[in-house]
């Protein structure tokens, strides 16, 4: 039986962090054997918010590819795709844009949150429409499943609606585009070092996959703890402590013990943070090592992206032939 296809991706607006690692990268590594995996380097979607920073977006195409490679995605198995190189994505985005109302896009909860978060007072047509372009990302290669976090669910719902509409209109006898399904991550979102509900590139509260052991230690030293615990003799409350939430994710074996010691004031914040830094550095060490290998083989990384994109274009062009014919665009 043929493997089912997965497509997922990252916007190329900067390096990825531990939030991405626990929320999606780790899962991708686990899924790569079972599924035919496509990893999209979403440089066009990056432009929807970073169109004034073309150099950053370009640099990030490499960095995000390196992030994915360094955590263990195997370039022999997975296909890396540079979004802007795929003509089918551009074409499908235009075709799909006829099937979505502006109101639907404006009421998308994720778009609304992002507008508030970035403080936009004037949003662009491109930004408002990125869920449409994302539908093209997913369907140009007829992906079955899309591993994503909670915030992407409204987008996936829209994608399914667009596909349903497309098929009903142009291919009523036999659907040619699959309705993609979300594959939700089971891990709750990682909060930021500052206690913000989200670890984010633009929020300055992240630990990056490239952070050295010293940087990790320093960042964790600055993390928010239980504000009521002022002296080492005070009993702490791990339930409201950022550091403890990280222990629960990165230090499964010791987290219960540490929690008890915190509640009974047997461990102070300094030692607790040190134990966490150690665990995170153990996790990051092989990732940093693998990255160093790829960083010193720049040409190889470029080749991985280019060969993957060529393969994706072959698949996309074939799909577009069929789609244009069904849309009666072939004279
Ligand atoms: N919007 C996704 C994010 O911010 C990135 C992305 C772009 C994506 N295209 C995609 C994810 C297609 C899944 C499928 O994380």
Quote the distance between the C-alpha of residue 180 and its chain's center.
17
* CA atoms of 170 and 176, how far apart (whole Å): 9
Centre of ligand 1 to C-alpha 157, Å, is 14
Helices 242-250 and 252-263, packing angle to 10 deg? 150
CATH of domain 213-290: 1.10.240.10
pLDDT of residue 151: 86
Query: Which residue CA neighbors atom 3 of ligand 1 most closely?
Result: 10
DSSP secondary structure string for all residues of 88-122: HHHHHHHHHHTTS-HHHHHT-HHHHHHHHHHT-SS
Verify whether ligand 1 is closer than 6 Å to residue 305 (CB atom).
no
CATH number of 5-190+298-326: 3.40.50.620
Pocket test for ligand 1, best of 11, 14, 163 (most atoms within 8 A of CB): 11
Ligand 1 pocket check for 20: Cβ under 6 Å: no
The pLDDT value recorded for residue 202 is 76
Indicate whether residue 7 lines ligand 1 (CB < 6 A): yes
* Predicted TM-score (pTM) above 0.85: yes
For the chain, domain boundaries: 5-190+298-326, 213-290
Burial code (b: 16+ CB inside 10 Å, e: under 16) for 270-297 equals eebbebbbbbbbebbeebbeebeebbee
Does residue 43's CB lie within 6 angstroms of at least one atom of ligand 1?
no
CA of residue 290 to ligand 1 center, whole Å: 24
Q: How far is CA 299 from CA 29, 58, 305, in A?
A: 23, 15, 10
Q: Do domains 5-190+298-326 and 213-290 have the same CATH topology?
A: no
pLDDT along the chain (331 residues), means of 10: 94 96 94 98 97 98 98 98 98 98 96 88 93 98 93 95 98 95 86 89 90 97 91 92 96 96 95 97 98 96 98 98 96 92
């Amino acid at each position: 039986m043929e493997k089912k296809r997965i497509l997922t991706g990252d916007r190329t607006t900067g390096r990825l962090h531990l939030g991405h690692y626990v929320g999606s990268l780790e899962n991708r590594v686990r899924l790569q054997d079972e599924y035919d995996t496509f990893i999209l380097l979403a440089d066009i979607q990056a432009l929807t918010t970073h169109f004034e920073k073309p150099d950053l977006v370009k640099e990030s195409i490499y960095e995000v590819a390196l992030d994915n490679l360094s955590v263990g995605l195997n370039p022999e198995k997975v296909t890396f795709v540079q979004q802007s190189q795929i003509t089918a994505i551009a074409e499908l985005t235009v075709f799909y844009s006829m099937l979505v109302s502006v109101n639907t896009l404006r009421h998308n909860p994720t778009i609304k949150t992002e507008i508030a978060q970035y403080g936009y007072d004037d949003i662009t047509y491109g930004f408002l429409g990125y869920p449409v372009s994302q539908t093209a990302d997913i369907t140009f290669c007829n992906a079955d499943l899309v591993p994503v976090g909670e915030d992407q669910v409204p987008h996936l719902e829209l994608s399914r609606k667009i596909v349903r509409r497309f098929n009903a209109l142009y291919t009523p006898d036999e659907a040619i585009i699959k309705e993609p399904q979300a594959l939700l991550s089971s891990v709750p979102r990682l909060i930021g070092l500052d206690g913000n509900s989200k670890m984010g590139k633009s929020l300055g509260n992240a630990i990056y996959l490239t952070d050295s052991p010293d940087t990790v230690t320093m960042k964790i030293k600055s993390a928010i703890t239980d504000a009521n615990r002022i002296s080492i003799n005070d009993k702490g409350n791990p339930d409201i402590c950022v550091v403890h939430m990280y222990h629960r994710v990165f230090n499964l074996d010791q987290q219960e013990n540490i929690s008890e010691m915190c509640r009974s004031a047997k461990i102070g914040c300094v030692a607790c943070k040190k134990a966490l830094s150690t665990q995170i550095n153990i996790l990051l060490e092989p990732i940093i090592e693998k990255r160093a290998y790829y960083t010193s083989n720049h040409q190889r990384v470029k080749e991985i992206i280019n060969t993957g994109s060529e393969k994706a274009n072959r698949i996309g062009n074939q799909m577009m032939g069929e789609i244009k014919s069904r849309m009666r665009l072939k004279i």
